[in-house]
């Protein structure tokens, strides 16, 4: 161990000198960092300004092009929508024979009752007990519309409201509608929130709630002509279009186009479509029509 004092005095001076140099360098470094930051921040802002300007110009140009393309294909788009509707009508014609007009209804689960409205009790273990609830069909108060393609019946059922306890609603079926969602042919009236159960109905329209059944009937009798008026008109127009499709799509050309559309549907919608039996049937029908 060195015990000469000068050695440690010299070391302290060296240490202080280096600390001072380091401080100067640190200050220089901080200033340089600020300089670099401001220099490139300015450049970044300038570049970003140019970038956003060019992007706006390009986006504007693209939107103009999109509008041009939209206008150019407008006629083709309309024709394609019409074609989808024709295919939907052809689907309907193929299933038309299976249309069952009167197999729908409204029902609740309730205890069996006699003509006086009293629950028919059952004797069980020497006790007069309530029976099991059973499916009870509601009688419609009216048939709003009825032809070979459409039937609409009006019902009154219960709901859970404290005041307006009676619900006026329409159930129906149409040859144009196989399921209760919007298709290519017609917009379907279908409301949720009807407490009464429905069976096989593809049309389900809630009209209004009332305190009593008498008030519901009075409202319906007064407004019957307005109930689903627009839908009935639209349905008649759609049926007229259906008949037009029936008359004009019996050619080999239309049959092939229909089958090719179905083939493409399976190819684009099903994984492993090659093994799908319906797809195979379509291929066979195409081959038969082409005489292969």
Sketch the domain layout of the chain as residue ranges. Answer: 100-211, 251-290
pLDDT of residue 129: 80
Residues 250-267: tens digit of each pLDDT = 999 999 999 999 999 999
Mean pLDDT across the stretch 219-223?
97
14 pLDDT higher than 60: yes
**Which of 214, 188, 165, 175 lies closest to 91 in space, CA to CA?**
175
pLDDT of residue 57: 94
3 pLDDT higher than 60: yes
28 pLDDT higher than 60: yes
Across the chain, mean pLDDT equals 89
The 10 Å CB-count burial string (b at 16+, else e) for 248-269 is ebeeeeeeebbbebbbeebeee
- How far is C-alpha 102 from the chain's CA centre? 28
Q: For residue 280, what pLDDT band results from cuts at 50, 70 and 90?
A: very high
d(CA 272, CA 275): 6
Stretch among 57-61, 73-77, 156-160, 167-171 having the lowest mean pLDDT: 156-160
- Please state at what angle helix 229-248 crosses helix 5-95, rounded to 10 degrees: 70
229 pLDDT higher than 90: yes
**What pTM was estimated for this model as a whole?**
0.71
Q: What is the DSSP string of the chain?
A: ----HHHHHHHHHHHHHHHHHHHHHHHHHHHHHHHHHHHHHHHHHHHHHHHHHHHHHHHHHHHHHHHHHHHHHHHHHHHHHHHHHHHHHHHHHHHGGG--TT--EEEEEE--B-TTS-B--EEETTEEE----EEEEPPPSEEEEESSSEEEEEEEEE-S-SS--EEEEEEEEETTBSSSS--SS-PPPB-S---SEEES-SEEEEEEEESSHHHHHHHHHHHGGGTTHHHHHHHHHHHHHHHHHHHH--SHHHHHHHHHHHHHHHHHH-TTGGG-HHHHHHHHHHHHHHT-
> What percentage of the chain carries pLDDT values higher than 70?
96
108 pLDDT higher than 80: yes
Site of tokens 């294909």:
73
Q: For residue 56, what pLDDT band results from cuts at 50, 70 and 90?
A: very high
d(CA 155, CA 109): 16
Mean pLDDT across the stretch 133-159?
93
Residues 173-218: tens digit of each pLDDT = 999 987 655 566 888 777 776 678 888 888 889 999 999 999 999 9
d(CA 165, CA 213): 9
Residue 156, strand partner residues: 168
Token output for 94: 């193929």
What's the burial of 93, exposed, middle or buried (CB within 10 Å: 0-12/13-18/19+)? Answer: middle
Using only C-alpha atoms, the chain has a radius of gyration, in whole angstroms, of 39
Residues written for the chain: 292
Mean pLDDT across the stretch 128-156?
91
What's the burial of 7, exposed, middle or buried (CB within 10 Å: 0-12/13-18/19+)? Answer: exposed
pLDDT of residue 51: 93
pLDDT of residue 64: 94
Q: Is 145:66 a contact under the CB 8 Å cutoff?
A: no
Mean pLDDT across the stretch 138-160?
94
87 pLDDT higher than 90: yes
Q: For residue 9, what pLDDT band results from cuts at 50, 70 and 90?
A: confident
pLDDT of residue 181: 55
Stretch among 43-57, 124-138, 258-272 having the lowest mean pLDDT: 124-138
pLDDT of residue 131: 80
């Amino acid at each position: 161990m060195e015990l000469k004092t000068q050695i440690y005095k010299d070391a302290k001076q060296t240490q202080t000198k280096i600390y001072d140099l380091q401080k100067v360098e640190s200050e220089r470094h901080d200033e340089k960092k600020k300089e670099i930051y401001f220099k490139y921040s300015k450049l970044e802002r300038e570049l970003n300004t140019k970038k956003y300007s060019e992007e706006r110009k390009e986006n504007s140009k693209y939107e103009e092009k999109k509008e041009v393309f939209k206008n150019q294909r407008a006629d083709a788009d309309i024709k394609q929508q019409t074609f989808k509707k024709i295919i939907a009508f052809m689907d309907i014609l193929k299933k038309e024979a299976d249309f069952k007009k009167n197999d729908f209804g409204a029902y609740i689960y309730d205890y069996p009752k006699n003509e006086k409205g009293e629950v028919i009790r059952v004797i069980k273990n020497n006790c007069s007990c309530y029976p099991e609830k059973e499916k009870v069909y509601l009688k419609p108060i009216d048939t709003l519309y009825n032809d070979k393609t459409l039937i609409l019946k009006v019902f009154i059922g219960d709901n859970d409201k404290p005041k307006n306890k009676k619900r006026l609603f329409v159930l129906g079926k149409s040859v144009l509608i196989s399921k209760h969602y919007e298709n290519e042919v017609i917009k379907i009236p279908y409301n949720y929130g009807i407490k009464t159960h429905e069976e096989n109905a593809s049309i389900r329209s809630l009209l209004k709630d009332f305190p009593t059944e008498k008030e519901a009937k009075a409202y319906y009798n007064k407004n019957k002509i307005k109930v689903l008026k627009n839908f009935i008109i639209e349905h008649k127009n759609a049926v007229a279009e259906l008949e037009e499709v029936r008359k004009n799509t019996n050619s080999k050309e239309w049959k092939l186009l229909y089958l090719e559309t179905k083939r493409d549907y399976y190819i684009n919608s099903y994984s492993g479509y090659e093994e799908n039996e319906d797809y195979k049937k379509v291929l066979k029908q195409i081959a038969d029509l082409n005489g292969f």
